[in-house]
Amino acid sequence: MNAHDSERIKGMLEELGLGEAPSADDADVVVFNTCTIREKPDTKLAAYLGEAAARKREDPDRVIAVGGCYAEAQRESIFERYPFVDVAFGPGSIAHLGDWLGAGGSGRRQPAGAIARGRFGLDEREFAARLPMHRERSVQAWVQVSMGCNSKCAYCIVPSVRGREQSRRPGEIVAEVTRLAAQGVREITLLGQNVNSWGRDLLPEIQTGFGELLRACDAIDGIERIRFTSPHPKDFRDPVIAAMAECDAVCEQVHLPLQSGSSRILKAMRRTYSRERYLALVERMRAAIPDLAISTDIIVGFPGETVEDFEQTLEVVAEVGYDSAFTFVYSSRAGTEAAGMPDQVPHDVKIERMERLVELTQSIARARNLARVGRVEQVLVEGASRTDATLLRGRTRRNTTVNFRGTAAPGELVDVLVEGATSTTLRGAETNPSHSLLTMDACAS
Ligand code: SAH
Ligand code: SF4
C-alpha cells in the first residue's frame, strides 16, 4: 500500500512541476512516505531525518515533508520532536500535499516563517487512488480498492492510522483498470488492507462482492494477470475461490497471512479463525485451483507465545508448504491491545524462534521451487535481470521471479523452461525466442 501511495505522491509532485532528483542531496523538496507497522521503520526514519536536518542546516530553503502512517501515529508530537520538518500529513491526506508545498514545491504558500502544519484526521480521508500516478513499473500497476481496516488484530496499528474500511465503487475501479490496460498495463494487483472484505460498506446500495470484482477485471481486454493483496482468511468466501478458479487472468497465487499456527495465539491476536479453519481453507483452495502458490505472513513472539505454540506454527508451515513467507518478530506498537498484554516474550527467545522459522520456510520454498525445474512457465517480462545484465527478469503466474536467457521485450508474455532454482528465484531460458530468429532472417535477407 505504501508503494502505491508513493507512486501517487510522485505523480502529484510532478503535477506541481517537481521532477525526481538524482539524490536526496540534490532535492529541493524531500518527502518521506513512512511506515510504522513495526519499530524498525520508525528507527530508520529517525536516521534519515537526521541526515535531512543536516542538509537543511546547510540550505534552509529545502522543504522536508513527512507523510504516511508514522506521521499519522505521531500527529501530536512530530513537529516538536522534529522541528525542522515543514510539512506532515497522514496517509489519507496525500491529496492536500500540493496546497502545502505550493507550485514548484516552494513551501512558501504559508506566511513567512510559519510551518505548513499539514493535515491529519481520519474523518476527511481521500482515496490516494484518485490522484495522479507516477508508475514505477510500465506493465504492472497497483489498484487501490479500499482504504482502512475494520479488523481488530491485537498487534496491529493499521486501523488507528488508516481508519475504518471504505471501499471504492466498482465502476470507478473498473474504469481505472480499463484506462491502465489502454496504457499498456498487463498485470494489476488489487490492494486493500483486507482486500476480500471489499464492498461490504457499499451494501445495500451496491451488492457486488469481491469475487464479482475479480470477474469484472478479468473481462477487461488487455489485462492478462490479476493478483490481490492482502486477503484475510476469515473473509475468504467460496465465490472468491470460484472466481480465482474460473477467471483466466486471475493468477494461481494467493497471499494468505497465517500469523500463528496456534489456535490459542490466534484467539489472543483476535484473528477470528483457528488453525483448523485456516487449514480447511487451504484445502478448499487447493482443490479448486490446481498448482496454487501460497505465500504468507507470520509473527513470532506474540505475547504469551509458548514454545508449544511456536511449534504449532512450524507444524502448519510444514503442512501447508508455503512457496514464500514474510516472517516478523513481534514488535510492540503503542496503543494496540497487545502492547498492554502480560508475558511479553524476551527478545533473545524471539530471535531464536525466528531463526528456526526462517530455516524451515526457506528450505520448503527451495524444495518447492526446485520441483519446478524442467517445467515450462509463462513469464511476464519486466526488464533486465538485477543481478546479471545479460539476462532478462520476469515473474511467473505463481509470482516467482525468474532470471532467464531470452530476447523478449518488457510487457511480453513468454514461455520459459526452468533450469534451476533457489528459495526465492528461478532461472531458465525462453523456449521460443522468436525475436532472435526474426533478427537472423532480417540479416540473411
Ligand atoms: N492487512 C494486511 C497486512 C497488514 S501489515 C493483513 O492483515 O494481512 C503486514 C504484516 O505485518 C501483517 O500480516 C503481520 O504479519 C505483520 N505485522 C503487523 N503488525 C505487526 C507487529 N506489531 N509486529 C510484528 N509484525 C506485525
Ligand atoms: Fe492489521 Fe489485522 Fe487489519 Fe491486517 S487485518 S491491517 S493485520 S488489523
* Residue 350 is assigned to a structural domain of this protein: no
Residues 27, 83, single domain; the answer is: yes
Give the lowest-confidence range in 31-35, 60-64, 186-190, 333-337.
Answer: 60-64
**Highest mean pLDDT range out of 95-99, 108-112, 136-140, 194-198?**
194-198
Residues 78, 102, single domain; the answer is: yes
**DSSP annotation string for 170-238:** HHHHHHHHHHHHHTT--EEEEE-TTGGGTTGGGTTT----HHHHHHHHHTSTT--EEEEE---GGG--H
* Residue 94: pLDDT band with limits 50, 70, 90: confident
Q: Is 159 in the pocket of ligand 2 (CB under 6 A)?
A: yes
Percent of the chain with pLDDT over 70: 92
Q: What is the number of the ligand closest to the CA of 335?
A: 1
CATH of the domain at 385: 2.40.50.140
* Residue 262 is assigned to a structural domain of this protein: no
Residues 36, 85, single domain; the answer is: yes
User: Distance (Å, rounded) from C-alpha 197 to C-alpha 174?
Assistant: 17
Atom of ligand 1 nearest to the CA of 192: 1
Residues 11, 120, single domain; the answer is: yes
Residue after which a domain boundary falls, among 189, 218, 251? 251
Strands 140-144 and 187-191: parallel
| pLDDT, average across residues 409-438 | 87
* Residue 185 is assigned to a structural domain of this protein: yes
Residues 120, 151, single domain; the answer is: no
CA of 124 to the centre of ligand 2 (A): 21
Residue after which a domain boundary falls, among 73, 100, 124? 124
Q: What is the number of the ligand closest to the CA of 155?
A: 1
By the 10 Å C-beta count (0-12 exposed, 13-18 middle, 19+ buried), 132 is classed as middle
Residue after which a domain boundary falls, among 251, 278, 313? 251
Tell me which of 236 and 63 has the higher pLDDT: 236
CA of 138 to the centre of ligand 2 (A): 30
CA of 311 to the centre of ligand 1 (A): 20
* Residue 291 is assigned to a structural domain of this protein: no
Give the lowest-confidence range in 85-99, 112-126, 153-167, 387-401.
Answer: 112-126
Instruction: Look up residue 243 and give its three cell numbers.
Output: 472466481
* Residue 117: pLDDT band with limits 50, 70, 90: low
- 3-state class (DSSP) for residue 419: strand
Q: In this structure, what is the dihedral angle of CA atoms 157, 161, 165, 171, given to the nearest 10 degrees? A: -130
Residues 176, 111, single domain; the answer is: no
Residues 114, 146, single domain; the answer is: no
Q: Return mean pLDDT, the chain.
A: 91
Q: Are 148 and 165 in contact (CB under 8 A)?
A: yes
Mutate-to-test residue for ligand 1 from 147, 150, 254, 299, highest number of ligand atoms within 8 A of CB: 299
CATH of the domain at 38: 3.40.50.12160
* Residue 189 is assigned to a structural domain of this protein: yes
Cα-based angle 95, 100, 103 (whole degrees, multiple of 5)? 95
Write the pLDDT tens digit of every residue in 357-366.
Answer: 999 999 999 9
Q: Are 429 and 437 in contact (CB under 8 A)?
A: no
* Residue 349 is assigned to a structural domain of this protein: no
* Residue 354: pLDDT band with limits 50, 70, 90: very high
CATH of the domain at 210: 3.30.750.210
Tell me which of 110 and 277 has the higher pLDDT: 277
Tell me which of 168 and 96 has the higher pLDDT: 168
The strand ranges marked E within 238-342 are: 253-255, 293-300, 324-329
Question: How many domains does one find in the chain?
Answer: 3
Quote the pLDDT of residue 101: 78
Quote the pLDDT of residue 115: 45
Listed in sequence order, the residues at least 6 apart from 68 whose beta carbon sits closer than 8 Å to its beta carbon are 2, 5, 32, 33, 34, 35, 36, 90, 91
Atom of ligand 1 nearest to the CA of 257: 8
User: 246 — alpha (psi -120 to 50), left (phi > 0) or beta?
Assistant: alpha
φ and ψ at 261, to 5 degrees? -95, 5
Atom of ligand 2 nearest to the CA of 149: 3
Q: Which helix (H) or strand (E) holds 267?
A: helix 263-269
Q: What is the number of the ligand closest to the CA of 160?
A: 2
Percent of the chain with pLDDT over 90: 78
Listed in sequence order, the residues at least 6 apart from 204 whose beta carbon sits closer than 8 Å to its beta carbon are none
Residues 11, 68, single domain; the answer is: yes
Gyration radius from the chain CA atoms: 23
Atom of ligand 1 nearest to the CA of 255: 8
Residues 100, 159, single domain; the answer is: no
Residues 6, 100, single domain; the answer is: yes
Range of the domain at 191: 135-251
Quote the pLDDT of residue 441: 45
Write the pLDDT tens digit of every residue in 169-208.
Answer: 999 999 999 999 999 999 999 999 999 999 999 999 999 9
Residues 120, 7, single domain; the answer is: yes
* Residue 368 is assigned to a structural domain of this protein: no
Residues 24, 58, single domain; the answer is: yes
* Residue 235 is assigned to a structural domain of this protein: yes
Quote the pLDDT of residue 113: 42
Give the lowest-confidence range in 115-129, 142-156, 270-284, 426-440.
Answer: 115-129
Beta bridge partners of 403: 393, 427
